[in-house]
Chain A
């Protein structure tokens, strides 16, 4: 049944938004063909509201009029993103990455994902995720560390892969702790080791650290799919191939894989959805602030979303006094 609001010429699409720690990603999938109509990869720069607004601007400014059938959010900012665009389809990034990888490579048995702050391994057998691991207390060897070191070496992070490939004898860099890795790199610089060698050494140590901590005890079997922003680095890809002994596959949408998976998730959702409000972001003023609830000793930091200076939504309270207050017929205070 067609809703009366549907513009007949509009292109029906599914939208996936992945708000990560460092970057925000968006993928638009055509309903039916599931073809990628548009995708964006931009830096969050600590302001997810602005980056989501940029995503919406991009969709609206497209000459094709899109009709968003369903939208889903993922990534560490998924909750906020969902509040902003008005969807109840929220999925963790481990599952969306699995969906993306298995859509592109149905036979994949191992998924490596390295993003800005997180790195994960997902073990797939018989086309089903059976196990995963995520870096826990340490962000050593993730995208933001590469970013920092690129800045310190005065090179572009995009060029690091080529630099690493150009090196014949990578410098040995300690990989257990990023602080010590940095000390090691400075030391190598001071004694005259070339930049390419240092970058290559960095790639080696990042992969070694990943395999020793994140992939610890997991059986890596081919085909191995590598996703996330760090997959852009050819030096890292080569190191993974060398250290695991398996060919590593990097697919075209590796950088936006989380958003791609979210869009697939949105396409599978059934039942009634609340109306898509993403474009409201362009017309109205949105802001988030927080306050400390003093109703009990938990002292939760409650987050509050304002639309046009009016509080419309709450979250991050443990007891649900604010976030679920209305749903359970309780008075909000």
Chain B
């Protein structure tokens, strides 16, 4: 009986239409997998003010900005015809570890009909069982061809993502020294679009290398850039529409931004496959111990540890971004204020909430840049 319903459902609805949130250039990775495996997908419309407003309208006011924006992405994608949501899970302290579930429940309450799949933040048995459960119905909808195509699809997606992140890292360096930083923004947009279109491993590396060459052509002003580490809550660090393009804003002021969280590093850490990476993380975590003995959870301890690391590497400063009302990062902000005083490294803490804070953010970034310049030169302006 049950299988009959499933078959009927399959005949009526056809194959699922997958969607995923916007997290920096992660959509290129998801899209590549879906395309290569032959699974129909709906790309959520780009995050705009409207997306944020939708998210704000359907959540409690004190909920953090990333949750509101991701919810907005999903609603817009469901309205555009998606019926299966793939979401990245996160660790315990955020909404008590029910971050992804909270979104699921809100969408169900709104009357949307959809299937849900969480990519676990950390691959454990529990996560595996939950995943197994969630994919039960989905697996029935996939054909053998889909399954056979998966390994290649994942490989292509992964390679694309690594290239995207490599290019984004290069852009963060180049912005700070480009004579006209907006040229870098245009270059990045074009490079990501070209990667998105590439359909084979060979094409991907060809596009990537060509983009790097094009970037090297962009004229520089010859001044030495300031260097900062961007730390903080993972969605805020990764998604420009949540962090209000902080990387760009800093870059245009001549600041090279290095960030810790990329989607691939998130996956690599979660998968626990790379032993070297795990060791590196454990060592990093140790750096926070003099200031923070208890593991607060999420990225709190890493925000502190990375600030200490930035000082060790002789960076000019640290920018700490997090959503207003974010518990782990508010804790980190308090600790960081002591770390900054004791180590003598400028730290700019930016709790982000509504989008209309642009001018205030610019004011703070400009003042922060002035402070770093003063520190470097040893005199007032």
Contacts and interface: CB of A to CB of B under 8 A. Distances in A.
Contact of B353 (A92, A131, A137, A216): A137
A319 interface: yes
Interface in B313-368: 324, 334, 337-338, 340-341, 344, 346-347, 349, 351, 353-354, 357, 359-360, 362-364, 366-368
A130 B346 contact: yes
Nearest to B335: A217
Contacts, number: 86
A98 B371 CA distance: 10
Nearest to B367: A94
B370 A328 contact: no
A132 B371 contact: yes
Interface string B167-203: 0000000000000101101000000000000000000
A72 B368 CA distance: 19
B142 interface: no
Interface residues of B, number: 39
A327 B180 contact: yes
A268 B374 CA distance: 14
A214 interface: no
Nearest to B363: A92
A129 B371 contact: yes
B46 interface: yes
A299 B49 contact: yes
A328 B371 contact: no
A29 to B, nearest CB: 16
Contact of B340 (A93, A131, A327): A131
A268 B380 CA distance: 10
The DSSP consensus for interface residues of chain B is helix
A328 B182 contact: yes
Contacts of B347: 131
The DSSP consensus for interface residues of chain A is loop
A290 B329 CA distance: 37
Contacts of A219: 341
Contacts of A134: 360, 363-364
A79 B331 CA distance: 35
Interface in A123-140: 127-134, 136-137
B124 interface: no
Given A92-B366, A95-B366, A216-B337, A128 B381 contact: no
Contacts of B341: 131, 219
B233 to A, nearest CB: 15
Contacts of A132: 364, 367-368, 371
Contacts of A102: 380
B44 to A, nearest CB: 12
B380 A128 contact: yes
A76 B363 contact: yes
Contact of A137 (B45, B349, B351): B351
Interface in A66-101: 76, 91-95, 98-99
Nearest to A78: B363
A184 interface: no
Given A131-B371, A218-B337, A94 B363 contact: yes
Contacts of B353: 136-137
A75 to B, nearest CB: 9
A129 B377 CA distance: 13
Contacts of A299: 48-49
B371 A92 contact: no
Contacts of B245: 318
A127 B366 CA distance: 19
Contacts of A133: 349
B149 interface: no
A141 B341 CA distance: 26
Given A131-B340, A136-B351, A92 B370 contact: yes
A297 B241 CA distance: 12
B49 A131 contact: no
Interface in A273-328: 297-299, 318-320, 324, 327-328
Contacts of A118: 360
Contacts of A327: 180
A254 interface: no
B364 A127 contact: no
Contact of A95 (B340, B359, B370, B375): B370
Nearest to A92: B366
Interface of A: 76, 91-95, 98-99, 102, 118, 127-134, 136-137, 216-219, 265, 268, 297-299, 318-320, 324, 327-328
Which 3 A/B pairs are nearest by Cβ-Cβ distance?
A217-B337, A94-B367, A92-B366
22 contacts: A92-B366, A94-B367, A95-B367, A102-B380, A127-B380, A129-B371, A129-B374, A130-B371, A131-B346, A131-B371, A134-B363, A136-B324, A136-B353, A136-B357, A136-B360, A137-B351, A137-B353, A216-B334, A217-B334, A268-B381, A318-B245, A324-B180
